[in-house]
Amino acid sequence: MESLETQRLILRSFRAEDGDDLHAYLSQEEVVRFEPYGVYDQAASKAEAERRATDHAFWAVCLKDSGRLIGNLYFQQQNPPQFQTWELGYVFNSNYQGKGYAAEACRELLAYGFGTLGIRRVTAHCDPDNHPSWRLLERLKLRREGHLLQTGYFKHDEQGNPGWHDTYAYGVLGSEWMSMNTRDDVNSRSL
Ligand SMILES: CC(C)(COP(=O)(O)OP(=O)(O)OC[C@H]1O[C@@H](n2cnc3c(N)ncnc32)[C@H](O)[C@@H]1OP(=O)(O)O)[C@@H](O)C(=O)NCCC(=O)NCCS
């Protein structure tokens, strides 16, 4: 897996020693609220960093100036492979949200996917209640293609009932995205 670079960030593979920075955000309740898992403790974060070091779907997003890991992207080819469709996901430390880092990192990864890998379509899914997530997707110029009702649940409510959630399905074709974003757009804008 190669590294990618933006104005402020390095995108690289995970390393076994990323456990502490990973723990810093996987231990934040507000960060895992819409994820299929709960908060991670120190030991689980260490194990997860070691696991991700061999899982190329996860990209570590680090500040260029300090090297600090501030979040991750998920970019995974879907089956069947000949459909050339990839799923995008993202999780950032709450101390580093609201600064345009997630958009900057995703934009670079999309440019890499569509431009260098030549992939055909990217999809992303989120809970309609997760406003920062779908606002990010719209900033990235993905299109909302569906509002799916009660698609599943990750957690139970206080009475022990499944907390059913809806899903917004987003997508964009490489041909569309490339015509909307020049290389200069990706390089020069953080929004
Ligand atoms: C989803 C998530 C990655 C979005 O992160 P984000 O920081 O809001 O997204 P962006 O990188 O696009 O940042 C945009 C914000 O940064 C602000 N900003 C500040 N400085 C900026 C700069 N230099 N350049 C660009 N934007 C900047 C923008 O104004 C915008 O603020 P606003 O949300 O108040 O309008 C983040 O909320 C997250 O990690 N959530 C927890 C995990 C999660 O739910 N993941 C998704 C599951 S589906």
Q: pLDDT of 88-108, one tens digit each? A: 999 999 999 999 999 999 999
- Which residue's C-alpha comes closest to atom 13 of ligand 1? 100
pLDDT of res. 41? 98
| Residue 181 confidence class, pLDDT cut points 50, 70, 90 | confident
- Residue 117 confidence (pLDDT): 94
pLDDT in tens, 4-63: 999 999 999 999 999 999 999 999 999 999 999 999 999 999 999 999 999 999 999 999
Residue found by looking up tokens 């500040």 in the block:
63
pLDDT value at 165 more than 80: yes
Strand order in 4-5's β-sheet?
4-5, 9-13, 58-63, 69-77, 85-92, 121-126, 165-173, 143-152
Confidence grade of residue 2 (pLDDT, cut at 50, 70, 90): confident
Residue with tokens 């804008």: 189
Ligand 1 centroid, distance to 139 Cα (angstroms)? 10
Contact 150, 175 (CB under 8 A): no
Question: Token pair of 6, please?
Answer: 């933006």
Q: Ligand 1 centroid vs 162 CA: distance in angstroms?
A: 28
Where does the pLDDT of residue 191 fall: very low under 50, low under 70, confident under 90, or very high at 90 and above? very low
Ligand 1 site residues (CB inside 6 A) read: 31, 34, 90-92, 97-103, 126, 130, 132-133, 136, 139, 190-191
69-77 and 143-152: which strand pairing? unpaired
Which pLDDT score, from 0 to 100, does residue 1 have?
A: 82
DSSP annotation of 37: S
Average pLDDT value for residue range 71-81: 97
Q: How far apart are CA 14 and CA 185, in angstroms?
A: 27
For 66-119, give the DSSP string. T--EEEEEEEEEPSSGGG-EEEEEEEE-GGG-SSSHHHHHHHHHHHIIIIII--
CA of 159 to the centre of ligand 1 (A): 32
Here the tokens at position 184 are: 């200069």
Asked if the model's pLDDT at residue 111 lies above 90, the reply is: yes
The strand pairing partners of 72, in sequence order, are 60, 91
CB 142 within 8 A of CB 172: yes
| C-alpha 146 – ligand 1 centre gap (Å) | 22
> What domains can be seen in the chain, in order of their start residue?
4-188 (3.40.630.30)
